[in-house]
Each structure stands twice: as C-alpha cells, then as structure tokens.
Structure 1
Amino acid sequence: MMNRELSLSTFEHAKKIIPGGVNSPVRAFGSVDTFPIFVQKANGAYIYDVDGNKYLDYISSWGPLIFGHNDEDIKSEFIKAIENGITYGVPSYVEVEMAQMITDAYPACEMVRMVNSGTEATMSAIRVARGYTGKKKIIKFEGCYHGHSDSLLVKSGSGTLTFNTPTSLGVPDEFIKNTVVCRYNDINSIIDAIDDDIAAVIIEPVAGNMGVVAPSENFMKELRKITRQKNIILIFDEVITGFRLSYGGASQIFNIEPDMVCFGKIIGGGLPVGAYGGHKDIMGMVSPLGKVYQAGTLSGNPLAMSIGIKTLQKLKDNPKVYEDLEQKAIKLEKGFKENIKRLNLDFKINRFHSMMSLFFTQKEVNYYEDVQTSDVKLYAKYFKSMLEQNILIPPAQFEAIFFNTAMSEEDIKYTIKANYNALEMINAQ
C-alpha cells in the first residue's frame, strides 16, 4: 500500500484554512473517494508528492504542458524573462509578439486581447458579442464548461458535472434566463432554440469537460451555417484545444472559422493566462476602441507572455510534435481496448487526436446523456488502482487525459499494463 501520510495530513490542515482544502474543486479527489496528493516537484513526464511517491502524469496541468514538466527550453526562457522584471503595468513588446503569433495561427483572430484565465476570456468574449449585436441571450451546450462566470454556470461540465450541481448557488435567475442550453452534437436542438435575441453561441469544439466527446462533422458545419444565416456570433472555446490539437487548434482541424475564439493554458506555457479574439469589426468594440469595457492589471504579464511565446515557437518549429502526441494516444487507446477485450468487459474509449477518455459504460458516448451513464463508482476504483501503480489520471470521470512529449514508449507500455491490472481488479469484484 502506497504511503501518502504527509499528503493526508497536509490535506487535513488545508481544509481548516482553504475551502474544501483545495483551490479548485476537482483537486479535492472527492469524486474518486480518496484524498489528494500534494505535489513537491515535477520533471519531464513525472510529478513527485510530499511523501516521495513518483507518478506518471496524465493530467499535464489539464493540458498546457505539451513538453512535459520543467522543459529545459521553457525553463531557460522563464529565468531570462524574470531577470527583466515580473510585471510592468504598462505595455511591453512581448504582448505584441504574442498577439502576432496568435493572429498568424488563427485566421478568425484578426485582433486579440490578453487576459489572465480561460474564465476571463469566455466571460469577456460573451460581453463583446452582446455589445456588438445588441442582443441579450447566449446559447451554450450541456456538458460544456466555459469557466465559472455567472451566465455560463448552467448545466456545465467538469467539476460541476462531477458533483451533480449543473448550476451554482449565487447565480441569479436573471442570468439563467438569458442562457439557453442546447444538446451537444444535436443540430436540431439549435434550430429549435434560436430566436431573434440570441447574441452568441459558445461551444467547446471538442468537448473536454464531460470527458472527451468529439462533434460530428455535420454538426459543426451546420452550426457554422446556421449562426451565419442568423447573424449570431459563433465563439469557439479553445482554452483546452487551442494549440494542443494542432497549431491552429480545432478550428484548423475542422476547417471552420468562428467569429470569436478563446484561449488559455498553452499560450502561457502553464502560467495563468487567457486571451480572446475575433474579427476586427467585433474586437473594435473593446475599450479603448469601443464601448465594451474590459481591463486587467496583469493582462499580458511579461512572464506568461515570454513562456507562451517560447512554447508556441517550439510547436511551430516542430510540427511533428502533434503527430508524436497522437501516436502515443493511439498506442494507449489500442492497448486499453485490447485489455478490455481480453477481460470480456464492455467499456468505451473516446479519443480525438491527443485527448482521450475511458468511460465505464456499455453505451457509445456521443451526447451528454451518454456521458451520464458512466459508472463513477467504478471509475473511482479504477483511479485508485492506477494511483497505487504510480500513474496519475484525472481525479474525475468527466475529464480528459493528456499526453506530453516527455512520455516514453516504456511509459505507454507500463500504463497499458497498469490499466490491465486495474480493470482485472474491477472485473474480479
């Protein structure tokens, strides 16, 4: 049995001074019926907890660490940047350089504004869309999570789905009534919901917060067609997928240009960051050009910008990174499927490029209601078995696993073996 005594005592202390003992709900490990590990350090594909345990990390800080932990190039850039100061409060050249990289990579982003988180990006994008159209309502989708701003905490995914609280206390009815929730992957639900007061549709182009659920090609094409016909702003939330699935994100993969797009995670190389952008006529609404106000003292922070630029440059210079990540995912998916077959089980695996989820259900997972059939108690047992084998996967059924370039062939093989052991344990009970 793995020793995690120091993590447990740290957690008990943390609960006295931090709500729930954590600074983000999914970190509490509550949905997998255990307590969290507390990290001491990380390097490459591994993280190490305060008890000295070493884990192969499939969380990768929820996506941004494409090159693994403590990448030498990125670390060197951070040290170089910090010697020039940590924050200025006035413009710096690296902000402009980052904006240029994003606008070059995304045709839909003719202008972009830096912020400090994905939540801030989506919240701001919706405000701009409302200001631009003069309309009040927005459409989002069941199971898609766009941060914790009031108008978006309606049938969310991720932590809210895990804890079975699709809305949150403190969200006024006035916000809820202006948020219309549609069925992901179901174009008819959009057709039925649209009226003349819809300002925007916001979507995760690949859902990653109800587990990985990819959209059908027809759904995405029809969504773009309908929003154009109805003069509705289409917002792609690429906080997870942007620069991870390809250099041009899901927008490039689907060959669909949204009106606005939101970023986070990767464009800061792992530091707190976000951004939102779009066509010039839309972004021209943002202060000081226009009358939609949005500001942030630390927006465009030089440390995050410098590391983000280094990360994006490495991706741009090494396009085979995406092939490498996907090949790792394909091998893991194949190994997991073989294990499931050998054990006469019937669980489902969803994979889209380098994002993957194992669902403990016999039902194909294409819609939000399919996700809900997954057995979270079985996932909890599976999680704990993998953790005992020194593999860290998301502490919630409704999250994706992420790959990084630091993972070796041996790491993948070991994970497949651990998966077999965990599934065999579940099957025996």
Structure 2
Amino acid sequence: MKHTKSEALYKEAVKYIPGGVNSPVRSFNSVGISPIFAKKAHGSRITDVDDNEYIDYICSWGPLMLGHSNEEISKGIGEMIASGTSFGLATEIEVEMAKLIVDAYPAIDQVRMVNSGTEATMSALRVARGFTKRNKIVKFEGCYHGHSDGLLVKSGSGTITFGVQTSPGVPTDIVKNTLVCKYNDIEDIKRVFEEDGEDIAAIIVETIGGNMGIVPGKQEFIEFLRKICDEYKTVLIFDEVITGFRLSYNSSLEYFGVKPDMVCLGKIIGAGMPVGAYVGKKEIMEVVSPVGPVYQAGTLSGNPLAMYLGKRNLEILRDNPQIYEALNEKADKLEQGIKNNLKKLNLNYTVNRAGSLVCLFFKEGPVENYDDAIESNVEKYNAYFKEMLDRGVLIGPSQFEAMFLSYAHSDEDIEYTITCNYESLRAIHNL
C-alpha cells in the first residue's frame, strides 16, 4: 500500500504540532513508520487519505462498540447541534445521562462528568484524598491512568517503592506520595499497607490492564483489593475508562462481582466524543464542590452533544444484550484462530483476552503483569504490524495495546484477520 498523502501531511504536521500528532500513540514511531492520516470510516472499516481501506481494530481506542458512524447513535444529532452546542448552564440531558450510569452501576450513587479519562482519574484521586484526609495513593506498575502529575510514575523494583517520575516536568514532591505495586501480586499489596496503610487514601486499578497489552486482573487479586481497602478505610477506585460498558453493560461490577467505592469512566460513555466521568458513593461524592470543599470544575463538562451521543450509545447497549453475546463470540473466534495459527507454526506466543479485548504477546506465557509484558519481542511485533497493515488490517501501533472489537466486525472480517495473522506470522519468521 502507498501512503504518499499521509507522508506529505506528516511532513507538514511536524512543523506545527509536536511530533506531528496530538497524542503520541498516533505517531507510529514505535513501529518505525510515518503515521496514517484517516479520512473517513464506516462500520468496521477505516479509510486513510490515500484511499487505503483497513479493517479497524483500534476503533478510536475503544469507544466505538457499534463501529464507526453508527446511524442509530447519530440519529437526531443535527437537531441537537441546531439547538446549541454549549451553554455554560445545566441541561436536562446531563441528568438523564447521570441516571443511566447510576442504574448501570449499582455500587455507585452520583456522577460528575468531565472531559477526558485523565480528568476523571485526577479528580477521583483528589476527592478520595479530600474524603479520607490522607495523602498517599497506590497504583500498579503497567496501569496507565492518564497523564496527571501524580500518576506518571514507575516502580524501581517488584516490591513497594516510592514513585519516580517518568516524565520531565513532574516534581518529585508530587510523586513521593504515589506508591507503586506489582499488578496481580497480593503479597506486594500487603507489604505496602503494612508500612503506609494508615496514610493511604486510595487504590486506583485497571481491573483489566489495558496499557501493557491486555492483562486481566485475577479474581482473587481484585477481591483482595476490596478486602484490604475495607480494613484500612481506603477508597477503592476502579479505572474503567477502557473497560466501562465494554466487558459487559454492568462493567467490572458484573465481571468480577466486586464493588468499588469510586469508578472512572470514559470512551464508551461518549461514543467517540471527548468525555469522562468519575462516579462514587454518595458520602464520598458529597465532598465535591459545590456541596463540599473539594474543588473541581469544567466549562465544557456535560457537553450536550457528548451527552446525547453517549446516552444513545448506552441505551442501545442496555436494550440489546445480544450485542455483548455477539462481541464475545467474535472475540472468541479471533482468539482461537490466532492460537490455532500459533500452534500450526510452532510459535510459543501468548494470546490474552478479556471480553472483546484481545492481545497477541510476542513471548511465551503466561503474561500476568508488567514485568511479563515487557519481555515481549517488540521488534517481531513491529514487523508483524507492518505485515498486517499491508494486508489491510489495522491494529494498535504498539505491542502494548489491545485489539478492540466492535459489533460491526463481520464474521468475514474475523476470518480474513485470522488468515492475515497466519500469513504475517509466517512472513516475519521466514516459515
């Protein structure tokens, strides 16, 4: 495939935009090629400015559960635009959206809309600190919760450690209160609480790790987080920016059967529009301004266009449970197809899956945490990415991203993808 127009646009873009992109993952730097510039998309297909068409497994990094340009979701959006795109005042649809989210997530009582996942996690942690009157938080190595200062940290070892900033511009005084533990490691959590438990305001966790590839939280691990938070009166926050309404309509609450104190949402609740939310139990959310002293605000929070599309998306998912059944069937078919290809080719790589999220790790399994994930052969993945792209299949331009399936992916799409997977694996291994 030729990417002449994309390459020309990229050369122009780097003059005016840092790295030529407005989010690093769009740069394709990690796979060693210039970025693709999208022109249009519909259903399971996306078309770039060179008119190359791809089966799309990025799906805007997750929110497009029903595929691109779904007509049922966008029906009536013209009337919404004609009524006004932003008011700076409360609107009825914000209330309707909040009720819809609370009904879908019975563990929580109230919702505050924001404009991104980063805003949601940053705000939730501030609220947890304000509620508990404590300073420290716990996160897990390999879990990404947005780019706010206190969360851009990594661990120095597999045991408890004080955070070391992973980005210049992040003051040490901020990350010193972020403790980093090993994902899926109960003993590591025990140690950090034995040392600092009385000053830990919150644990924040991706119940399904989605930023080190797909790494599901173990059932006993998620259950233990609830237990130790109860013991120390610590706020348990599920970061469901990726998994919210994707694992199931009732999200991780149904998937694991564990109730958090707060939840961070994004992506799907906006159906592709910029949106986020932090939600929680009433006694926690009542510390938020204007009811309580913890300040958080946003001029465009609850934007009526985002609320309209998000509400339509959630209503369709709520009223059509067969969508989740079909998504799981599609993901299972893809997972088993890739595993069969690996067996035929005698390759000991690992496929992780949670619901409609799939990831092929270029390493022998199991992959249960960040240390496991980073052992993957990134060079092989990069070569694989290019082979798949040349065959018209667009996957994440990084070993550490998920394949996102949508309801719009057809059986033919899945079968073609499995065929391309086989051919691409053969090509990069000279088999």
Pair in the same fold by TM > 0.5: yes
The aligned counterpart of 1:312 is 314
Please give the secondary structure, in 2, of the residue aligned with 1:88: coil
Please give the secondary structure, in 2, of the residue aligned with 1:83: helix
The aligned counterpart of 2:363 is 361
Q: C-alpha distance in 1, partners of 2:95/2:191?
A: 42
Gaps of 5+ in 2: 156-163
Cα offset, 1:78, TM superposition: 2.2
User: How many percent identity over aligned positions?
Assistant: 56
Q: C-alpha distance in 2, partners of 1:76/1:179?
A: 44
User: Does structure 2 conserve the Cα–Cα contact (< 8 Å) formed by 1:135 and 1:197?
Assistant: yes
Matches for 1:118-197 after TM superposition, within 5 Å = 118-155=117-154, 167-194=166-193, 195=196, 196-197=198-199
Please give the secondary structure, in 2, of the residue aligned with 1:426: helix
Matches for 1:9-408 after TM superposition, within 5 Å = 9-155=8-154, 167-194=166-193, 195=196, 196-408=198-410
Q: C-alpha distance in 2, partners of 1:397/1:155?
A: 19
Counterpart amino acid of residue 106 in structure 1: Y
Please give the secondary structure, in 2, of the residue aligned with 1:41: strand
Count, aligned residues: 420
CA deviation digits over 1:170-216, x for unaligned, max 9?
11001111000000000111110122110000000111010000011
User: Does structure 1 conserve the Cα–Cα contact (< 8 Å) formed by 2:206 and 2:239?
Assistant: yes
Cα offset, 1:155, TM superposition: 2.3
CA deviation digits over 1:13-50, x for unaligned, max 9?
10111000000001100111111110011111011000
CA deviation digits over 1:374-411, x for unaligned, max 9?
01111000000000001100001101111111111100
Counterpart amino acid of residue 152 in structure 1: L
Cα offset, 1:83, TM superposition: 2.0
CA deviation digits over 1:305-348, x for unaligned, max 9?
00000000000000111111111010011111111111111110
User: Does structure 2 conserve the Cα–Cα contact (< 8 Å) formed by 1:382 and 1:426?
Assistant: yes
Counterpart amino acid of residue 255 in structure 2: I
Cα offset, 1:75, TM superposition: 1.9
Name the Cα RMSD after superposition. Answer: 1.1
User: Does structure 1 conserve the Cα–Cα contact (< 8 Å) formed by 2:246 and 2:355?
Assistant: no
CA deviation digits over 1:88-146, x for unaligned, max 9?
10000000000000111112220110000000000000000000000000000000000
Gaps of 5+ in 1: 157-164
Counterpart amino acid of residue 27 in structure 2: A
Counterpart amino acid of residue 27 in structure 1: R
User: Does structure 1 conserve the Cα–Cα contact (< 8 Å) formed by 2:165 and 2:175?
Assistant: no
User: Does structure 2 conserve the Cα–Cα contact (< 8 Å) formed by 1:394 and 1:400?
Assistant: yes
Please give the secondary structure, in 2, of the residue aligned with 1:241: coil
Cα offset, 1:77, TM superposition: 3.3
Q: C-alpha distance in 2, partners of 1:147/1:361?
A: 27
Q: C-alpha distance in 2, partners of 1:109/1:37?
A: 40
Counterpart amino acid of residue 34 in structure 1: I
Cα offset, 1:7, TM superposition: 0.4
Q: C-alpha distance in 2, partners of 1:358/1:84?
A: 46
Counterpart amino acid of residue 403 in structure 1: L
Cα offset, 1:166, TM superposition: 7.2
User: Does structure 1 conserve the Cα–Cα contact (< 8 Å) formed by 2:45 and 2:55?
Assistant: yes
Q: Which moved more, 1:147-156 or 1:35-44?
A: 147-156
Q: C-alpha distance in 1, partners of 2:84/2:186?
A: 49
Cα offset, 1:80, TM superposition: 2.9
Q: C-alpha distance in 2, partners of 1:354/1:374?
A: 22
Q: C-alpha distance in 2, partners of 1:52/1:150?
A: 40
Please give the secondary structure, in 2, of the residue aligned with 1:384: helix
Counterpart amino acid of residue 280 in structure 1: K
Please give the secondary structure, in 1, of the residue aligned with 2:215: coil
Q: C-alpha distance in 2, partners of 1:80/1:99?
A: 22
Counterpart amino acid of residue 60 in structure 2: S
Gap change, CA 1:153 and 1:185, over 3 Å in 2 = same
Q: C-alpha distance in 2, partners of 1:33/1:166?
A: 26
User: Does structure 2 conserve the Cα–Cα contact (< 8 Å) formed by 1:77 and 1:310?
Assistant: no
Q: C-alpha distance in 2, partners of 1:276/1:393?
A: 29
Q: C-alpha distance in 1, partners of 2:12/2:377?
A: 31
Please give the secondary structure, in 2, of the residue aligned with 1:330: helix
Cα offset, 1:86, TM superposition: 0.5
Q: C-alpha distance in 1, partners of 2:211/2:77?
A: 30
Cα offset, 1:427, TM superposition: 1.4
